[in-house]
Amino acid sequence: MIPVTYCYNWQNDDEVVRRANLDYLAKQGIKRLVLTCVTIENIINKPELLFSYKKEFQQAGLKFVDAHAPWGLFKDPGMPFRETRESIILRQKSAILICEQLGVTSMAYHTGNVYPSWEGIEGTFTMQDYKDALRRAIDELLPFAEKHGVVMALENQWTPLNQSPCILEMLEAYNSPFLGFCYDAGHAHLTECGEADPEKSVVPYFWNLNNMPVYWEKDIIGIFKKWVVNCHFHSNGGWQDQHLMPDPGNDTMPWDHIMEVLAEAPCLQCIQSEVPVPDTITPTDLRNAFRRISPLLDA
């Protein structure tokens, strides 16, 4: 069975409310939560929360399994801005240490979006600048991640720095069990379907911005089977990054093929729900949706 972990907005500054939220999730059958980038940033800003979260999760019978690294223009490891490089590395090392303390063994990483220039930042940048920045970050972070038992999983999105050839280049260059792949099913669907109607697709924006032809993907899950460490599951119609609840048999996601490949993925640790959870969706609704994807999922 493949464990499923859930993203919930349980982080509240009020301890009473936070405990109530955790107890509610546990009573609804949720066993595992994602150590989100927001949670990590909270702990970086208020280190005492590490001890509160540990105690509260243990008392509620919940645990963290996987994580999502801090992300954004000035946090992603592939950003070439020399002014922020050191702070990016320090933040990501802090995230790795927090993972270790909370028993998390894999963390997904956005490599970064590619901008030819950025207001207020000196100079212009090429694709090679971004690749070089990503390699410098991995050079420094990978030995640290290995030391602390956390696998870095590079996530597919839809920009030039996280297309299949770029991520493959990194995985093959380092050839380390502590550098793997985070398969985002929703992002893959966008890059595999958008070519049918590029005008409707969110994908071309960054490629057009950089005067590059769009790289449309084919069977990302098959390409990265041997490197997949964790996965982000959510649904969309093939054009926009909607993060909808999976609806096997009715949505357009190739769930059967995805699960067929993942059943043979040697490094897979878990599946993560990346479905935002409004009040109209109960934990039971979400768990049942994941159960419909495959009996292999321990939702």
3-state secondary structure of 141: helix
Q: Is the pLDDT of residue 195 over 80?
A: yes
Could you give the CA distance from residue 76 to residue 85 in angstroms, rounded to a whole number? 9
Residue 198 burial (C-beta neighbours within 10 Å; 0-12, 13-18, 19+):
middle
Mean pLDDT of 116-137: 87
Residue 11's pLDDT is 83
Residue 277's pLDDT is 82
Could you give the CA distance from residue 198 to residue 208 in angstroms, rounded to a whole number? 11
CATH label of the domain that carries residue 225: 3.20.20.150
Residue 116's pLDDT is 85
When the pLDDT of each residue in the chain is averaged and rounded to a whole number, the result is 95
Q: Is the pLDDT of residue 8 over 70?
A: yes
Contact assessment for residue 157 and residue 186, using Cβ atoms and an 8 Å cutoff:
no
- Give residue-wise pLDDT tens across range 89-107: 999 999 999 999 999 999 9
Q: Is the pLDDT of residue 120 over 70?
A: no
E strand or H helix at 5: strand 2-6
Residue 279's pLDDT is 74
**DSSP characters for 224-287?**
TGGGEEEEEE-B--SSS---BPP-TTTSS--HHHHHHHHTT-TT--EEEE-----TTS-HHHHH
Work out how many domains the chain is built from and give that number.
1
Could you give the CA distance from residue 268 to residue 168 in angstroms, rounded to a whole number? 17
**DSSP characters for 76-121?**
STT---TTTHHHHHHHHHHHHHHHHHTT--EEEE------S--TTS
- For the beta carbon of residue 239, count every other beta carbon within 10 angstroms: 18
DSSP E strands in 11-90: the ranges are 32-35, 63-68
User: What is the domain range of residue 16?
Assistant: 2-298
Residue 245's pLDDT is 96
Contact assessment for residue 102 and residue 124, using Cβ atoms and an 8 Å cutoff:
no
